[in-house]
């Protein structure tokens, strides 16, 4: 081991202090939203490129020209443009991912949502522990923070950060994620929290609620969660304590296979009416899609 | 650091971060994902010395931070320390591929500990605990014999007279 020179020692101390200042600023108030957005707009296109190379998919990259500058017209045109983007995306994706797209449209059709299909281009580059993905749709496609993201099996997560052509989605399995849920066929509400890649933890709001293995959880009604109501979340696989007795916690296998996300849909618009149990998958575990243990 | 090696290092880091997000993090491997960016930072430290490792680590960490969900600065701190420590090792140790594998394994473990410690201090939830770390260390060790000699070779081309320092 060589002893660091005086200059090096000073540089280390300076950078460590700088890191601590940055961490403090960002932890307190999210001071770097703009910087994060800018970084994403630089890196995500490259990421798109690599994803396209790795899993060849023809996709649309046409730029959006200058739209002139008369406010209301721009709004209308942007909306129309986003809708056209959506249709174009659908027709392009239908050639490469037609099965998945059909299933996604089936689910969104049943719920009456308008869904923008998007492809996952990358996972968060961090060192594990946090569960976010980047998708290849952004502001120009009409995405906004907090929109709900689904795939053909159910709830994936919500939009966290939007750049021009890409967006970051926090998955429902992220340890910071908590989804307000309702048990299908009833009105019992609760919270499904993420634990990283693996089962969710369901906690009923009312501790006297009986939870059963096989209970299907859907996103909660309006006001109950930031997510669109009535989306399939997962199925209870294990209840702590005696079966049938009031339980404080239950393990929930998510319907969505989070380890192999590819085609997802961002819910751009949804009816005010709660679809209730219409989207719930068939009851017993027989048809549950595979999930990671 | 002169402009040549600095620019090459910056480009390599950018490429590594993109590959990390688009490919490596998505590989369906048991345990945590391989961490190419960290291996690159350590390799730059081994090849270029403490200052190069420090600068590369801070830059790479910061870029990863702004693209991730955790507070900006956490990985900048972790990676800067890892690159710096790698660069402080004796030149003989740094030039051995076998020992570089050990260095990567130890520093990967250390980075995870610091990361978990900082996130704990901030009260941020961290899933999966330390379970994935062993996987990441194993994958990083596998990456090392490819990344380190490559970085060494590039560094030598930039500074032929200075023999790896």
Any chain A CB within 8 A of the CB of B68?
yes
Rounded CA separation A133/A147 (Å): 14
The whole-number pLDDT of residue B91 equals 82
Strands A250-254 and A232-239: antiparallel
Task: Please count the other Cβ atoms lying within 10 Å of the Cβ belonging to residue A238.
Answer: 14
Structure tokens of A193? 């929290």
Name residues whose C-beta falls within 8 Å of residue B155's C-beta, 6 or more positions apart in sequence. B5, B44, B47, B48, B164
Query: pLDDT value at position A13?
Result: 92
- Judge: B132–A131 Cβ closer than 8 Å, yes or no: no
Cα separation, A205 vs B108, in Å, equals 41
Nearest to B51 by CA among B80, B90, B84: B84
Residue in chain B nearest A161 by alpha carbon = B69
The beta-carbon neighbor of B128 closest among A7, A40, A128 is A128
Q: Is there a contact between B63 and A33 (Cβ–Cβ < 8 Å)?
A: no
Mind giving me the DSSP string for A260-276?
G--EEEEEEE--SS--T
A177 touches chain B (CB under 8 A): no
What pLDDT is recorded for position A177? 87
Instruction: Check pLDDT > 90 for residue B159.
Output: no
The partner residues of A216 in beta bridges, in order of sequence, read A235
Residue A21: its chain B contacts at CB < 8 A? 73
Kindly determine whether residue A1 and residue B89, on different chains, have CB atoms separated by under 8 Å. yes
Mutate to test the interface with A, among B18, B25, B41 (most CBs of A within 10 A): B18
Q: Decide if A170 touches B, using CB distance below 8 A.
A: yes
Angle at A44 between CA B105 and CA A193, to 5 degrees: 70
CB B44 within 8 A of CB B11: no
What's the confidence (pLDDT) of residue B165? 43
Residue with tokens 């969900």: B69
Mean pLDDT of B129-143: 83
- Which of A1-5, A239-243, B128-132, B149-153 holds the top average pLDDT? B149-153
Reply yes or no on whether the pLDDT at A73 is more than 90.
no
Contact residues, A window 42-101, toward B, CB-based 8 Å cutoff: 43, 46-47, 50-51, 54
Contact state of B66 with A170 under an 8 Å Cβ cutoff: no
Q: Report which secondary-structure segment, H or E, holds A122.
A: strand A114-123
**Of residues A21, A22, A126, nearest to B64 (C-beta):** A126
Q: What is the pLDDT of residues A122-174, one digit of tens each?
A: 887 777 777 889 998 988 888 998 899 999 899 999 998 888 888 999 999 98
Phi-psi region of A157 (alpha: psi -120 to 50; beta: other; left: phi over 0): left
pTM: 0.69
The span from the CA of A266 to the CA of B35, in Å, is: 29
Average pLDDT over all residues of chain A: 80
User: A154 - beta bridge partners?
Assistant: A151
Question: Hey, are the CB atoms on A130 and B21 less than 8 Å from each other?
Answer: no
Nearest to B72 among A1, A22, A198 (CB): A22
Cβ of B11 under 8 Å from any chain A Cβ? no
Query: Could you tell me which residue, A125 or A230, shows the higher pLDDT?
Result: A230
Q: Scanning every residue of chain B, which has its alpha carbon at the shortest distance from the alpha carbon of A21? A: B73
Q: At B21, list the tokens.
A: 């997000």
* A291 Cβ neighbours under 8 A, 6+ residues apart: A199, A253, A254, A255, A256, A257
Nearest to A39 by CA among A142, A212, A170, A161: A161
- Please choose, from the candidates A253, A32, A41, the residue with its C-alpha nearest in 3D space to the C-alpha of residue A166: A41
Query: Is residue A20 within 8 angstroms of chain B, CB to CB?
Result: yes
Name the band, by pLDDT with cuts 50, 70 and 90, for residue A24: confident
pLDDT tens for residues A172-187? 998 888 899 999 888 8
The lowest-confidence range among A73-82, A139-148, A246-255, B38-47 is A73-82
CB contact under 8 A, A127 and B73: no
A231-235, A267-271, B127-131, B134-138: the lowest-pLDDT one:
B127-131
Cα B71 to Cα A5, A122, A140, A175, A282: the distances in Å are 31, 19, 27, 15, 41
Q: Which of residues 108-127 of A touch B (CB under 8 A)?
A: 121-127
Contacts of A204 (CB under 8 A, 6+ apart): A188, A189, A190, A211, A247, A248
pLDDT tens by residue, B62-91: 999 988 888 899 999 999 999 999 999 988
Work out how many CB contacts closer than 8 A connect A with B. 169
Q: For residue A18, what pLDDT is reported? A: 93
Q: Which helix H or strand E contains A200, and what residues bound it?
A: strand A200-204
């Amino acid at each position: 081991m060589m002893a660091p020179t005086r200059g090096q020692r000073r540089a280390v101390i300076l950078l460590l202090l700088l890191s601590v200042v940055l961490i403090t600023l960002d932890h307190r108030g999210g001071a770097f939203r703009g910087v994060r957005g800018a970084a994403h707009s630089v890196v995500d296109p490259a990421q798109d490129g690599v994803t396209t190379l790795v899993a060849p998919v023809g996709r649309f990259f046409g730029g959006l020209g200058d739209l002139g500058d008369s406010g209301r017209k721009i709004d209308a045109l942007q909306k129309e443009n986003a809708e056209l983007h959506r249709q174009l995306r659908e027709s392009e994706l239908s050639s490469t991912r037609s099965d998945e797209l059909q299933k996604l449209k089936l689910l969104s059709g049943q719920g009456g949502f308008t869904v923008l299909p998007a492809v996952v281009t990358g996972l968060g580059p961090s060192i594990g522990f946090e569960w976010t993905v980047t998708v290849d749709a952004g502001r120009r496609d009409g995405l906004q923070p907090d929109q709900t993201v689904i795939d053909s099996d159910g709830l994936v997560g919500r939009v966290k950060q939007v750049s021009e052509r890409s967006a970051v989605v926090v998955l429902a399995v992220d340890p910071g994620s908590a989804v307000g849920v309702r048990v299908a066929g009833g009105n019992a509400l609760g919270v499904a929290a993420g634990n990283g890649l693996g089962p969710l933890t369901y906690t009923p709001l009312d501790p006297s609620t009986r939870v059963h293995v096989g209970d299907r959880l859907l996103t909660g009604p309006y006001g109950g969660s930031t997510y669109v109501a009535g989306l399939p979340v997962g199925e209870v696989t294990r209840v702590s304590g005696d079966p049938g007795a009031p339980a404080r916690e239950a393990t929930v296998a998510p319907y969505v296979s989070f380890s192999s996300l590819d085609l997802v849909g961002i819910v751009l618009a949804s009816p005010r009416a709660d679809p209730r149990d219409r989207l719930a998958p068939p009851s017993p575990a027989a048809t549950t899609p595979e999930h990671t243990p | 650091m002169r402009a040549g090696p600095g620019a090459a290092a910056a480009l390599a880091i950018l490429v590594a971060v993109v590959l990390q997000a688009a490919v490596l993090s998505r590989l369906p491997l048991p345990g945590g994902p391989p961490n190419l960016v960290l291996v690159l930072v350590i390799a730059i430290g081994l090849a270029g010395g403490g200052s190069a490792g420090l600068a590369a680590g801070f830059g790479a960490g910061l870029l990863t931070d702004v693209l991730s969900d955790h507070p900006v600065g956490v990985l900048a701190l972790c990676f800067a320390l890892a690159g710096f420590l790698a660069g402080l090792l004796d030149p003989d140790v740094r030039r051995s591929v076998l020992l570089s594998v050990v260095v990567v394994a130890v520093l990967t473990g250390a980075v995870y500990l610091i990361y978990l410690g900082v996130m704990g201090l901030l009260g941020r939830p961290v899933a999966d605990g330390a379970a994935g770390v062993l996987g990441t260390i194993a994958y990083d060790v596998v990456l090392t014999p490819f990344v380190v000699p490559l970085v060494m070779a590039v560094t030598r081309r930039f500074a032929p007279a200075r023999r790896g320092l």
